[in-house]
Amino acid sequence: MKQVVIIVPKEYANLASVTGAFQILARANGYWLGLGNKPKMEVRIAGFMTELKLDGGFFSIHPVNIEDLPKTDLIIIPSVSHEYVNVIKHNAVLINWIREQYKTGAEIASICTGAFLLAATGLLDGKICSTHWNAASEFKRLFPNIELHTDKLVTADQGIYTNGGAYSFLNLMLLLVEKYFDRATAIFCSKVFQIDMDRTSQSPFFIFQAQKNHGDELIGQAQAFIEANLSAKISFEELASKLAISRRTFDRRFIRATGNTPVEYMQRVKVEVAKNTLEKGRKTIFEVMNDVGYSDDKAFREVFKKITGVSPLDYKAKYN
């Protein structure tokens, strides 16, 4: 029987990701037993404290002592507070425990921003992972050696699983249910908890937030120019000339400051404006396309889908 531990880190842990993970795995185990099988796993909630109060004290978790547990087969790390540096600082012992468990054969799954705690173990270095799109910039700053894929809803790499943001962890749990039980049990859980099994990306939920705190005044001027001229055809050669730098230097500084090439940045800004307009539902897709400077509907659809993962028509139908 597999030993599964949902860990409770010191400082803030997201209650929903703890209870949600527990309930789905418990229900999967119950379904499995109901088919006449032996129990597949034992799920415990554990940590290095006896109580953790959450959400202003309205809720509390009472984990078992993690040092009293037998060998662990699967560790689930819940979402954590946005004070990432403090969370890592106050959980050094837990981070070391996770690292040692992986070395002895345990698999690890992190939920949303739990990826920060997982990354602090060093186990993600050279591997791919995902986390909430809203935490991507801070994650890249703290862990530059990890290949972050915020477009992916779930990643799997050498016994380490991660997922995107918020309640997308439900899809991660279905993946684990399928792995540790079978496909039929995962389908059962998807129906009982009403989780869409076909979701593979968090891109449709991404809200582009322009990187403006880089301190490069010249690139800040370029960003402002792009954002003020969305419907115009922008020549980056001319823009670089206006800013009195070479195109090559302009591109290098732009990428360093924003993490995007000038063309990528322009596309992301255009798509974000298009998304906001489509959500309001008052304009046709053709009108929105023209508003953000596209005259070729095929090109607009391709760029929109590349960034969001869905077509403009599907996006409008889903969110207006």
> How far apart (Å, rounded) are the C-alpha atoms in residues 110 and 112?
7
The residue among 242, 241, 213, 209 whose CA lies nearest residue 227 is 209
Q: How confident is the model at residue 231 (pLDDT cuts 50, 70, 90)?
A: confident
Query: Does the CA dihedral 287-291-292-296 come out positive or negative?
Result: positive
154-157 and 160-163: which strand pairing?
antiparallel
Q: Which domains does the chain have, with CATH numbers?
A: 2-202 (3.40.50.880), 217-319 (1.10.10.60)
Task: Write down the H helix ranges in 193-261.
Answer: 217-228, 236-242, 247-258
pLDDT confidence of residue 206:
63
Which 3 state secondary structure label does DSSP give 291? helix
| 24-50 pLDDT, tens digit each | 999 999 999 999 999 999 999 999 988
| 145-201 pLDDT, tens digit each | 999 988 888 888 889 999 988 788 999 999 999 889 988 899 899 999 988 876 666
